[in-house]
Amino acid sequence: MRVLFAGTPAVAVPSLNALLKAGFDVVAVLTRPDAPVGRKRIMTPSPVAARAEELGIEVIRAVKVDAETTKRISEIAPDVAAIVAYGGIVPPAALAIPRHGWVNLHFSLLPAWRGAAPVQRSIIAGDDVTGAATFQLEKGLDTGPVFGTLTETVHPEDTAGQLLERLSDSGAVLLSQTLSAIDAGRAVAQPQAGEVSLAPKLTLEDGRLDWQQPALALNRRARGVTPEPGAWTTLEGQRVKLEPVRLRPDVKNLAPGAIKVDAGAVLVGTGSHAVELGRIQPAGKKMMSSADWARGLAAPERVVFE
Residue pLDDT, tens place only, 131-189 = 999 999 999 999 999 999 999 999 999 999 999 999 999 999 999 999 999 999 999 99
Contact 48, 13 (CB under 8 A): yes
- Describe the strand order of the beta sheet including 246-248 as a list of residue ranges: 246-248, 274-276, 265-268, 259-262
| Residue extents of the structural domains in the chain | 2-183, 204-302
In whole angstroms, what is the distance from residue 263 CA to residue 116 CA?
41
What is the predicted pLDDT for the residue at 38? 81
Averaged pLDDT, 13-42: 94
Instruction: Give this prediction's pTM.
Output: 0.95
What is the pLDDT of the chain when averaged over all its residues?
96
What is the predicted pLDDT for the residue at 37? 86
Domain 2-183 identical in fold to domain 204-302: no
Question: What's the residue count for the chain?
Answer: 306
Contact 81, 98 (CB under 8 A): yes
- The CATH topology of domain 2-183 is Rossmann fold (3.40.50)
What is the predicted pLDDT for the residue at 233? 97
Domain 204-302 sits in CATH at: 3.10.25.10
What is the predicted pLDDT for the residue at 301? 83
How many C-beta atoms surround the C-beta of residue 47 within 10 A?
Answer: 17
Query: What is the gyration radius of the CA atoms in the chain, in angstroms?
Result: 22
For 267, left (φ over 0), alpha (ψ -120 to 50), or beta? beta
